[in-house]
Structure 1
């Protein structure tokens, strides 16, 4: 049972041509979608999801390219600039510039965000709250920018927006993000290197980033490693997009003054002290209604302090 959240119903939901997502759903009430990070699957939300399902409809998908969701081949032009103002939302966002002729890269956060909007719509929800951790937070951030009429509340856990992340990584301190630079390289070498020892590579982050290793029990850790081992090309493609097309999209939005208009909660470790940046200030540049919290947990905070994270999400939903 390590690969499922007890009490949740599982289904596969088509969200794009040739792409279906594995999704766990439970509860009733206003919808909340929870997006996982790296190197995890939707299982990282198991405690928080069970808590929120007491009075919300909770939707926990595996992102495209991860877990049991489909893993389309990456577009050859992942590092090229697609239309930065494209909006694939199926409803009408009056403050978004729509270009339905654009075909975004397979793992651009714009594409992955459109997956999540399509998923919620397929499940009957025109508007929903969205929380993401790590990679899932980048997808959530993009969804908030591209689909402001759809996302009612937004939470981003332990991440910076892509453009800001690259700006703060410099000098020897950038070594902490070595995997970002590795997976940004052209297709071929990163995939072969990681596939040669996937458990060592992905396990390194599970061990290094955990403030409390007991928060990820052996059977869950094994489920994460199994999922990652089967998804090396798509995981690399996700990261490669963040060194290319995702930067283009963020820069276009920042230059154009596009902002997050829904209530936003950000919960982060204090990386700013080590990397010499003010995380709250970086987020304020993007958001009209921000609550920023610095915490002492490890990176896997939804597993290490689930009661605190559930409480913070409930407080966000009340705003």
Structure 2
């Protein structure tokens, strides 16, 4: 199935990976990054609502989708948000975009945060969907959050334990993970769900996903701590699901204000997978924030 009619596919070699995705539309550049356990297909309902106003670059993170799966390392550096952010800066430069806006959902939002810290000259404005900063979420973990976000801790177990369990029935695992929200699997089209299951059925992708979470619990936190009190200067729009874990467990805006100078945002009428649950609301709020700024 063609999820992005009229968009041009790309595969770009960076200094550490090969990044696959699509690009299309017209206007200022906007990089869209997906989360776990999905791929760039996450944006298939949002892209048609924004392509008249932005040149969209919609990429698979390294380790996900059709992007390459770099070998892992004991310190998990090849799957750190720093490495993923470097990929995206190189992809955007290759496509002719030296400065751009970003919107990242879930893991993609964490990559966007690190990109803003490591490459501040490249980012004009940015948005995250249904996340708070990684380090602050870990530090605020309580019983409710640990139960609701069990995968944050389980996926960090030493390889190959989580990998083997997922490989036993990847379709069942993918459907369970995506269907945990209030809406179940209803937000996902049959074609998108099949795409996510196909990627989850690849052992290399599953290992890379686990490495992403292992990095988040180790080297990513070290990178955050090394930043000290440094904040991101680029303005941030934080959106989250009013029926999700972020709303239940955290003061999203307060946590982001610890890490970013200028923060605005709101809860939307949805759960975790906002680009597929409420694409019109996501698109309208991005359009207003990015074009009015």
TM over 0.5: yes
**Contact 2:10 / 2:22 at 8 angstroms: preserved in 1?**
yes
Shifted more, 27-36 versus 4-13: the winner is: 4-13
Q: Name the TM-score, length of structure 2 as normaliser.
A: 0.94
Aligned length: 288
Tell me the residue number matched to 1:42. 40
- Once the two structures are superposed, the pairs formed by residues 125-164 of structure 1 within 5 Å of their partners are 125-164=97-136
Residue 121 of structure 1 pairs with residue 77 of structure 2: no
The gaps in structure 1 that reach 5 residues or longer are: 79-104
Residue deviations 1:117-159, cap 9 Å, x none?
0000000110010110001111011111111110111100001
Measured in 2, the distance between the counterparts of 1:207 and 1:172 equals 19
Measured in 1, the distance between the counterparts of 2:36 and 2:247 equals 23
Tell me which of 186, 206, 220 is aligned to 1:232: 206
Residue aligned with 2:125, SS: strand
The gaps in structure 2 that reach 5 residues or longer are: none
Tell me the residue number matched to 1:241. 215
Residue 250 of structure 1 pairs with residue 224 of structure 2: yes
Tell me the residue number matched to 1:14. 13
**Contact 1:259 / 1:287 at 8 angstroms: preserved in 2?**
yes
**Contact 1:210 / 1:299 at 8 angstroms: preserved in 2?**
no
Q: Using a 3 Å threshold, how does the CA distance of structure 1 residues 282 and 6 change in structure 2: closer, same or farther?
A: same
Measured in 1, the distance between the counterparts of 2:94 and 2:247 equals 43
Residue deviations 1:44-86, cap 9 Å, x none?
11121122111211000111000011011111222xxxxxxxx
**Contact 1:23 / 1:61 at 8 angstroms: preserved in 2?**
yes
Residue 309 of structure 1 pairs with residue 290 of structure 2: no
Measured in 2, the distance between the counterparts of 1:208 and 1:272 equals 14
Tell me the residue number matched to 2:79. 107
Cα distance, 1:263 vs structure 2 = 1.3
Residue deviations 1:170-223, cap 9 Å, x none?
225411111111111122212112212212222112111363643211121011
**Contact 2:34 / 2:105 at 8 angstroms: preserved in 1?**
yes
Tell me the residue number matched to 2:23. 25
**Root-mean-square deviation (CA), in Å?**
1.5
